[in-house]
Structure 1
Amino acid sequence: MELIKKYFPNLLDQQIYRLSSLKNLYAYWNAYVNLVSRKTFHDFYQQHVLFCLGIAKVFSFDPGSCVLDLGTGGGFPGIPLSIVFPHTKFILVDSIRKKIKIIEKIIYHLHLKNVYPICFRAEKLENKFDFVVTRAVKKINIIHNWTKDKFKYKSNSRIKNGTFYLKGGNIYDELKEFPYAIEYPLNSYFEEPFFITKKIVWISNI
């Protein structure tokens, strides 16, 4: 948790408390459902929480915005982002019901009022959103096709509505059909070696 405070020194006490509670909550529920890879759990705050909060380093969601966390899995990046942006609405979608049920319990325990988990296939959602966030659940072109008609037509932010992808490794081939994509290397924000190959990719959908 010291790693989070290092890079986000202006967090409020309640935000620190909620973020500090995450590891114990996930340790407990991971014994029942594999929400977080057990191979990486020892590095929970770096590989899961801070990685997801990389989005908060490149963009600040406005109060009142609605964000879809597509393929949320164990609640990433939606839950950490919802703590940092308490006035933004986050819809966490996953097709695996048992994961959504546990995410509901984690949200309840943390008293998060801006997070709404849904068990549904993301491509079948009829809702409209300002932004989508997703952590490498599929290749970019697949997610882009799933979400291209799910954005509000009018953007109320300083950038157009679109998707933030948390990615790692070489994604040159994935980006060939998206010449307008913007990459934000996370080693520009975080000094730990883990982030050398990690990045945020921003693609406008309107």
Structure 2
Amino acid sequence: MAERDRLLHRLDEGLAALGLDLPDSVRGRLIDYVELLARWNSAYNLTAVRDPGEMVARHLLDSLAIAAHVSGASLADLGTGAGLPGIPLALLQPERQFTLVDSNGKKARFLREAVRSLKLANVRVFEGRVQDVPGQFDCITARAFATLADMLNWAGGLLADGGSWLAMKGKLQDEEIAALPAGFRIEQTLALAVPRTVGERHLIVIRKA
């Protein structure tokens, strides 16, 4: 089996487990993204995950596992790194506008190349600190970026009224949840079942109080 076919097969298995039915065009672009990331990763060390097959599970499927919880017309992905979960979600949801935020120059260069080569007209890249991002967003995502308190203290003002903050975490820490800043409340905490991944994965949905 050719490498690209192997990656598509692994993606399809995961999508079936997540209950997602995607058109061939989106499936192909998701694999294009993994292949681009794998090429850049060898030179720029963008992610600790080296194997493209592992990237499908630990990056693509992990990102797509929260797709049903994204809402609104605009989304900011804070500390996006190599574009996670922002790029997989943007490929899945072209009707939304995505802003990918990262202060690391080499990661921002990769993001701009990914936007160009994947023809992501609904994505822009902001290279800088989350504290400096202009505007407000209907939805904010952050994947293992910082503690809940730090994220909300730095960037809570980016969340529009009525919007939702989707914090992707591994193992839940009671003390972290207890330290939620004033003005915010946890709407729900969900355990995520991500195919072919080891360890706990959780989604914490936060709204303004």
TM-score bin, normalised by smaller chain:
0.7 to 0.9
Q: Which amino acid aligns with 1:73?
A: G
Give the C-alpha shift of residue 203 in structure 1: 0.6
Q: Tell me which protein shows more strand as a share of its residues.
A: 2
> Match for 1:171 among 170, 173, 186?
173
Kindly report which structure 2 residues correspond to 1:153-168, keeping only aligned pairs within 5 A, or say none.
153=161, 160-168=162-170
In the alignment, which residue of structure 2 is the partner of 1:34?
45
Q: Which amino acid aligns with 1:79?
A: I
Give the alignment's TM-score, normalised by structure 1: 0.86
Secondary structure, counterpart of 2:87 in structure 1: helix
Give the conservation status (yes or no) of the 8 Å contact 1:68–1:91.
Answer: yes
> Match for 1:61 among 66, 71, 81?
71
Question: Is 1:21 matched up with 2:60?
Answer: no
Q: Tell me which protein shows more helix as a share of its residues.
A: 2
1 CA distance for matches of 2:159 and 2:77? 13
Give the alignment's TM-score, normalised by structure 2: 0.84
| Range with bigger deviation, 172-181 or 127-136 | 172-181
Rate the CA distance shift 1:54–1:5 in 2: closer, same or farther, 3 A: closer
4+ residue stretches of structure 1 with deviation over 4 A?
Answer: 39-42, 190-193
| Range with bigger deviation, 3-12 or 110-119 | 3-12
Q: CA RMSD in A?
A: 2.0
Question: Sequence identity of aligned pairs in percent?
Answer: 26
Equivalent pairs, count: 194
In the alignment, which residue of structure 2 is the partner of 1:102?
110
Give the C-alpha shift of residue 22 in structure 1: 2.0
In the alignment, which residue of structure 1 is the partner of 2:12?
2
Give the conservation status (yes or no) of the 8 Å contact 1:40–1:47.
Answer: no
Give the conservation status (yes or no) of the 8 Å contact 2:71–2:164.
Answer: no
> Match for 1:77 among 73, 85, 88?
85
The unaligned stretches of length 5 or more in structure 2 are 1-10
